[in-house]
Structure formats: C-alpha cells, structure tokens
Structure 1
Amino acid sequence: MIERRERKPYWRHTKWQMLASLVPFLIVMIVLPLYAADLNRSRFMGFPLGYFLSLHGMILIAVVTVASFVNRQDAIDHWHGAHEDA
C-alpha cells in the first residue's frame, strides 16, 4: 500500500509517464498516413513502402511503446513504494 504523502507525487509521475508514452505513438499514427501516398511510390519486398510501414511499423511501435511504459511504470512503482513485490 502506498503511503498517503506519496499519493500525489506517485500519480503526477504516472500521468507524465503516460503522456510521454502516448504522445510519440499518436504522432506516428497521425504523421505516417499523411506521407503514405508519397511512400507508396517506393517498394519494399514487393509491397508499397507506405503500406508496409503502416502494417509492420505500427505494430512494432505499439509493442515498443507498451514495453517501455511497463518498464517505466514499474520503476515509478518501486520509487514510490507501490510495487507488487512487497
């Protein structure tokens, strides 16, 4: 259980960590489709590049974002004494 005096700093760190994880992912989700038509002029492994990046790039970015979020949230939990290993 997290101590009462640690609750505000804990949630502040958690909110900033969530924003830091979501903003790059959302930027890529917005920017990549804007350039997909230009990227489709090139081909990679027989597929249009914009199509290939949309399929594989988004999945890769999502996995990396979630993994880094979990790792950083675990560090925040340990820092504020809210980890589950206690």
Structure 2
Amino acid sequence: MMERKERKPYWRHTKWQMLASLVPFLFVIIVLPLYAEGLNHNKFLGFPLGYFLTAHGLVVIALVTVASFVNRQDAIDHWHGAHEDS
C-alpha cells in the first residue's frame, strides 16, 4: 500500500509518462498519412508504398508505444512502491 504523501508524485509521474507516450503516437497518426500519397507511385509487395507504410506502420508504432508504456509504468510503480506482488 502506498503512503498518502507518495500518491501525488506517483500520479504526476504517471500523467507525464502517459503524455510522453500519447503525444508522439498522435503525431505519427496525423503526419504519416499526409506523406502516404506521395509514396503511392512506388510499389511494395504489390501494394502502393504509402498505403503499405501507413497501414502497417501505424500497427507497429502502436505496439511499440504500448510496450514501452507498460515497461515505463512498471518502473514508475516499482519506484513508488505501488507494484503488484505477483
């Protein structure tokens, strides 16, 4: 159980960690499709390159973002003594 005085710093670290994960992901979601049309004249595996990079790139970026978020949140939990004992 976390002490009451530790809750505020814990949530501050969690909030900043969430923003650090969310902002780059949202940036990529907005910017990557803007450049997709310019790449579509090239083909990759029979698909237009811009479409391929946008469709698959967003999935890969989402997985990397979620994995890094989980690892960093686990570190924050351990730092503040809020981790689960499993």
Same fold per superposition (TM over 0.5): yes
How far is 1:82 from its partner?
0.2
The aligned residue for residue 35 of structure 2 is 35
* In structure 1, C-alpha distance between the alignment counterparts of 2:8 and 2:33, rounded to whole Å: 38
Between the aligned partners of 1:39 and 1:27, the Cα distance in structure 2 is 19
Question: C-alpha separation between the residues in 2 aligned to 1:27 and 1:44?
Answer: 24
Deviation at 1:47, TM superposition (A): 0.9
Show structure 1 runs of 5+ residues with no match.
Answer: none
Query: What TM-score do you get using the length of structure 2 for normalisation?
Result: 0.95
RMSD: 1.1
Name the aligned partner's letter for residue 56 of structure 1.
H
TM-score by length of 1: 0.95
2:24 & 2:49 partners in 1: Cα distance? 21
In the comparison of the two structures, how many residue pairs are matched?
Answer: 86
Q: How does 1:19-58 map to 2 (within 5 A)?
A: 19-58=19-58
Please list, as runs of the form range in 1=range in 2, the aligned pairs for 1:1-86 lying within 5 A after superposition. 1-85=1-85
Distance 2:2 2:36 in 1: 46
Q: Which amino acid aligns with 1:61?
A: I
Q: After the TM superposition, list the runs of 4 or more consecutive aligned residues in structure 1 that deviate by more than 3 angstroms.
A: none
Letter of the aligned partner of 2:53 in structure 1?
A: L
